A and B are shown apart, each in its own frame.
Chain A
């Protein structure tokens, strides 16, 4: 089955700096790569996703890049703000019906003032 590895497990940045979280996946058939943000005690929220026919996707201060050859994808957050502090999860799946999503183990991002 699919295996998703996520690094780093914790990340501390100064407000205004950029943050990068990296994930690798094992199944070359995976073609859907979402990112979720989870604040303490809250539900995971889908913040951005990318499909394998696209190399990069941006949404305001958030961007995701995908390298299919190397089987890795990354989340980039620019101009970080205190409200960006949360746990971020990457995941991978094959689109279609009953195909399952495999999550990484999460990155605790702390944005310091």
Chain B
């Protein structure tokens, strides 16, 4: 049982490049979410999903897209990377609600030059 798996673990991008952060869970959780973690600011919600085909915006959605075609996968896309998107990104899942994440992935450390 792998839990929540995120890839890649590290990534360096140039300004303007696009990329997709992958997130997969094997617990059949309906609720998944993406957070970014910046120094001194805790975790902030980017986007979330309450089930396959249903997504919505969180606190800081600008510059990011998501989709949820299956229960297992919830990728996060950076459309045109900016230095302000340098951060650590965590994917989370829950069986009881977006506001009750029980499991986090190991994170993706992203640097935008």
CA distance A93 to B99 in the complex (A): 6
CA distance A100 to B40 in the complex (A): 20
Considering only residues 93-113 of chain B, those with a C-beta below 8 Å from chain A are 96-102, 104-107
How distant is B49 from chain A, measured CB to nearest CB, in Å? Answer: 9
Chain B interface residue number, banded: 20 to 34
Chain A interface residue number, banded: 20 to 34
Chain A residues positioned under 8 Å from B74 (CB to CB): none
Q: Interface readout for A29-71 with B: 1 if CB under 8 Å, 0 if not?
A: 0001010000000111110010000000000000000000000
Chain B residues positioned under 8 Å from A96 (CB to CB): 97, 99
How distant is A48 from chain B, measured CB to nearest CB, in Å? Answer: 12
Interface residues of A (CB under 8 A from B): 1, 6, 32, 34, 42-46, 49, 89, 93-101, 103-106
